[in-house]
């Protein structure tokens, strides 16, 4: 799809991303009772679901392109309890708390394959919108396995900042962890903009936060984690990860900011 098809009207909103949580929240009453339909009925069902999510998207200030109809239908057809969201595995090394609040965690993540796309839109929100739509189509159908790959969480975005940590770079990478069943032989993306990257094992410092993810909130969370770390100098200081676990439209959206430990 063209980059212009995934538009956001305003740069400050935090609910500008249609997530798999959104799609999987469709109730059974909103879906067709028939599981085997003819081509005409399939097209009608796709149009109905696309119209439904176009209406939902207006609340997120997002335009959903028409070529998302088939991925949206595939996601909803897998909303039957058989498919669970697998978490990216890690080993907890240590945790620092204060008054019952987690200030940060130190974790070990093992090497793994991720499907990634780097986007250069005018705003962070536009970039994650465009990138997520592309990744969603890869998960649903546009891959060499020709099947739904399954959802993993968190979906992460890699962001870069200037030296003063006051501005985000236009380069934003949206990344999806391949489920364990696809780690050894990742399905190839049909979209040439999506790359399968082998990320080495790494130590991550993580801090949870709730609410919107936009340029202002991300800059604030980077500063917040740097302040509570015993020595922020041990971390890479120009590239950070925002990890999203829940629906961006949720009142208490759950996210984390991640720092890489220097080698």
For 59-92, the pLDDT digits (tens) are 445 566 676 666 666 655 554 445 567 899 999 9
Beta strands, E only, 183-233: 195-199, 202-210
Cis peptide before 253 (omega within 30 of 0): no
Mark whether 61 and 94 lie in a shared domain. no
d(CA 190, CA 156) in angstroms, rounded, equals 21
Domain count, the chain: 2
Give the confidence band of 216 by pLDDT, cuts at 50, 70, 90: very high
Q: Is 113 exposed, middle or buried (0-12, 13-18, 19+ CB in 10 A)?
A: middle
Residue 17: the pLDDT is: 47
Residue 118, Cβ neighbours under 10 Å: how many?
Answer: 15
Mark whether 65 and 186 lie in a shared domain. no
Mark whether 215 and 194 lie in a shared domain. yes
Mark whether 137 and 232 lie in a shared domain. yes
Between 215 and 91, the higher pLDDT residue: 91
Between 22 and 90, the higher pLDDT residue: 90
Strand pairing class (195-199; 112-119): antiparallel
Mark whether 68 and 103 lie in a shared domain. no
Mean model confidence pLDDT for the chain: 78
- What's the whole-model pTM score? 0.76
What are the φ/ψ torsions at residue 176 (nearest 5 degrees)?
A: -125, 125
* Distance separating the N- and C-terminal Cα atoms of the chain: 39
Q: Which residue reads 């240590």 in tokens?
A: 94
Residue ranges making up the domain that contains 96: 86-260
């Amino acid at each position: 799809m063209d980059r212009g098809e995934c538009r956001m009207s305003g740069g400050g909103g935090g609910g500008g991303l249609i997530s798999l949580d959104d799609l999987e929240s469709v109730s059974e009453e909103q879906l067709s009772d028939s599981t085997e339909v003819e081509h005409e009925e399939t097209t009608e069902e796709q149009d109905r679901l696309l119209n439904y999510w176009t209406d939902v998207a207006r609340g997120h200030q997002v335009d959903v392109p028409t070529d998302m109809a088939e991925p949206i239908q595939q996601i909803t057809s897998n909303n039957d309890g058989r498919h669970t969201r697998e978490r990216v595995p890690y080993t907890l090394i240590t945790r620092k708390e204060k008054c019952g609040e987690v200030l940060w965690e130190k974790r070990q993540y093992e090497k793994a394959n991720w499907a990634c796309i780097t986007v250069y839109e005018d705003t962070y929100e536009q970039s994650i919108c465009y990138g997520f739509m592309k990744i969603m189509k890869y998960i649903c159908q546009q891959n060499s396995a020709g099947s739904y790959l399954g959802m993993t969480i968190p979906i992460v975005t890699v962001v870069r900042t200037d030296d003063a940590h006051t501005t985000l770079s236009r380069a934003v990478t949206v990344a999806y962890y391949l489920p364990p069943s696809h780690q050894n032989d990742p399905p190839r993306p049909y979209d040439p903009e999506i790359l399968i990257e082998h990320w080495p094992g790494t130590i991550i410092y993580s801090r949870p936060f709730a609410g919107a993810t936009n340029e202002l909130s991300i800059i604030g969370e980077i500063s917040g984690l740097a302040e509570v770390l015993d020595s922020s100098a041990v971390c890479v200081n120009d590239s950070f990860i925002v990890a999203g676990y829940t629906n961006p439209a949720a009142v208490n959206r759950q996210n984390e900011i991640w720092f890489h430990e220097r080698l």
